[in-house]
């Protein structure tokens, strides 16, 4: 029996997908397999040159070998939720999303944020996508073991999305775009998926905030694990997560650095209004910060200062990630 799927499209030509038994097809019978319960709607791309395609495949191979972030051996969903709440962003995001929303996380990795939101919110539907099938298998295994029913995972290339434009209330992509061959074009692709009046959350490595991590990378290349004495976050995580953290931070094959002003220009080009950021451009963030309440974007000096301060503020454990939240104009 054929079943049309409202939110999904064929990433090859944009037509509506039809589900038949355990495979996905579009109307021309272009087949997308389902592997370990994951629909593989990934295509290598329509318009990449050979250099970009090589970069894309290198990142895909990297995360197939080193899924990120890895899971601890949680006994149950309650322990997972309790542990994840220690990340203040995850906690306040789940509290402030609202009910009956359609949420898409792009570059979800092993699905820890995606699964957390499925467990703690009353969302209409949550989707998680990633380039790495191995990472998604871990995400989907956790979903099935804990009976999370309002969530689905898909393998996808963000440059060729498998979702309809203007279909999502919230699109999240944290720590992803700086690992692509063209972060700006990648942002434009995912921004198109947000419905008018909806929100987008992105985070990228900041060109100043990443300074300490670049020093760590240099020391790691010289001295190996002993060179990571400056990495305070490494000391706080379990042995299960240390390997994936080290590979992601210090051995990644593709990484770029960005400024606040650069990302603000991306928002403007896609008719997205700046709402807020972490860290805040003006003022200090608090534990009950209103993520979707309008903040001041400041001037160039304000924006330089907050980026410079990131070098010395290890509150931002992702070692230089600057987060920005925007709202698409209606």
Q: Where are the domains of the chain?
A: 37-210+251-328, 211-250
What is the pLDDT averaged over residues 288-306? 95
State residue 112 phi and psi, 5-degree precision.
Answer: -70, -45
**Separation between Cα atoms, residue 28 and residue 13, nearest integer Å:** 10
- Going 59 to 64 to 65 to 67, the CA torsion angle's sign is positive
Q: Please determine, looking at this structure, whether the domain spanning 37-210+251-328 carries the CATH number 3.40.50.150.
A: yes
Q: How confident is the model at residue 46 (pLDDT cuts 50, 70, 90)?
A: low
Choose among 170, 108, 104, 179: nearest CA to 140. Answer: 108
Query: What spatial distance separates the first Cα and last Cα of the chain, rounded to whole Å?
Result: 38
State the pTM of this model: 0.93
SS3 39: strand
Average pLDDT, stretch 219-225? 90
Least confident of 20-24, 163-167, 226-230: 20-24
Is 60 exceeded by the pLDDT of residue 207? yes
Does residue 291 sit in helix, strand or coil? Answer: coil
User: What's the confidence (pLDDT) of residue 1?
Assistant: 47
* Mean pLDDT, residues 308-321 taken together: 77
Q: In this structure, what are the phi and psi dihedrals at residue 275, rounded to the nearest 5 degrees?
A: -110, -55
């Amino acid at each position: 029996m054929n079943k049309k799927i409202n939110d999904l499209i064929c990433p090859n030509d944009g037509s509506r997908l039809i589900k038949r038994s355990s495979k996905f097809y579009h109307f021309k019978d272009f087949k997308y397999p389902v592997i370990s319960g994951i629909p593989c709607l990934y295509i290598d791309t329509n318009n990449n040159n050979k250099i970009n395609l090589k970069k894309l495949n290198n990142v895909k191979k990297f995360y197939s070998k080193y899924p990120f972030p890895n899971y601890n051996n949680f006994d149950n969903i309650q322990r997972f939720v309790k542990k994840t709440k220690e990340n203040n962003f995850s906690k306040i995001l789940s509290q402030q999303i609202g009910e009956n929303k359609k949420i898409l996380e792009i570059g979800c990795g092993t699905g820890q944020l995606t699964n957390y939101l499925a467990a703690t919110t009353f969302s209409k539907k949550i989707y998680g996508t990633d380039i790495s099938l191995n990472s998604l298998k871990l995400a989907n295994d956790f979903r099935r073991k804990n009976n999370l029913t309002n969530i689905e995972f898909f393998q996808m290339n963000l440059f060729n999305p498998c979702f309809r434009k203007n279909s999502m209330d919230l699109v999240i992509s944290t720590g992803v775009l700086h690992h692509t061959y063209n972060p700006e074009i990648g942002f434009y692709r995912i921004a198109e998926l947000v419905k008018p009046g909806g929100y987008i959350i992105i985070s990228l490595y900041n060109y100043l905030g990443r300074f300490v991590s670049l020093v760590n990378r240099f020391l790691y290349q010289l001295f190996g694990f002993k060179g990571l004495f400056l990495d305070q976050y490494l000391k706080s995580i379990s042995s299960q997560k240390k390997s994936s953290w080290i590979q992601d931070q210090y051995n990644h094959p593709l990484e770029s650095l960005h400024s606040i002003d650069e990302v603000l220009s991306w928002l403007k080009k896609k008719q997205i209004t700046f709402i807020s950021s972490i860290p805040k451009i003006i003022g200090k963030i608090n534990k009950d910060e209103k993520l979707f309440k309008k903040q001041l974007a400041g001037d160039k000096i304000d924006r330089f200062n907050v980026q410079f301060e990131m070098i010395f503020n290890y509150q931002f454990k992702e070692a230089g990630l600057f987060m920005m939240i925007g709202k698409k104009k209606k």
